[in-house]
Structure 1
Amino acid sequence: MEIDRKAVEAHLRAFVESKRGVEAYVEPATSVTTTTIVLIAWDGEWTRRAVGSPKDGFEISQRLGVPVYDVNKTGYPNRMREWSKRRRQGDA
């Protein structure tokens, strides 16, 4: 899978600049996706993009100036699940 790194970073930067309290979570590659990064704002709103490797995810997060975590070690914050649940219910 070809990753447009400039477009990915531009999308993530726009998210960071338009939200408060953003944190990054690096997700491992799976059998169907490459390594991804999830940015999660203070209210649980999130966005996900493919980044290629864990190293890329950590480096992008550093450039964006946001805290970054390995999701295998920390799990996802409850606010992400709560926001997604509200969206499914039409409340977000």
Structure 2
Amino acid sequence: MGLFSRVRGGRGAGRTRSGDEDHLRAWTVTHEGVEAFVEPRTAVTETTMILVATDGEWTRRRVSGPEGARKLARSLKIPIYDAQIVGYPKRMRDHDARQRILRDRERRRDLGA
């Protein structure tokens, strides 16, 4: 497959890879208060779905498109939002900030500082 066929969608565009869907399903089962956020397709990436738990932990995987994301969210019985319209939840940004602090502390500790 050439570069331009990949950018235009190439083979398999619009299909959720079963591994991606399996990951999203398993992640939802192992986390509490999960909400879904759909990110639109761009020239570089397919449509993606971000799942965010109550504590702000999150994961992202490709989905077959906005309708595929809605269908998956319905089957998981979780709310779904359009990330372009509502943005991302503050708890997700807070989680990332906490993780960054913990990584920095660990790095300093490993360096003996």
Distance 2:87 2:63 in 1: 19
Q: 1:50 aligns with which of 62, 68, 85?
A: 62
Which residue of structure 2 lines up, in the alignment, with residue 62 of structure 1?
74
Q: 1:40 aligns with which of 28, 38, 52?
A: 52
Which residue of structure 2 lines up, in the alignment, with residue 78 of structure 1?
90
SS at match of 1:25: strand
User: Identity percentage over the alignment?
Assistant: 45
Determine which structure has the larger strand proportion and give its number. 1
Which residue type is aligned with residue 53 of structure 1? G
Residue 4 of structure 1 deviates from its aligned partner by: 5.2
Distance 1:4 1:16 in 2: 17
Distance 1:33 1:57 in 2: 15
Residue 50 of structure 1 deviates from its aligned partner by: 0.7
When normalised by structure 2's length, the TM-score is 0.74
1:20-61 CA distance string (max 9 Å, x none): 000000111112101000000000000000113111111111
When normalised by structure 1's length, the TM-score is 0.89
Which residue of structure 1 lines up, in the alignment, with residue 42 of structure 2?
30
Distance 2:60 2:95 in 1: 14
Number of aligned residue pairs: 91
SS at match of 1:26: strand
RMSD: 1.5
SS at match of 1:52: coil
Greater length-normalized contact order (CA 8 Å, ≥ 6 residues apart) = 1
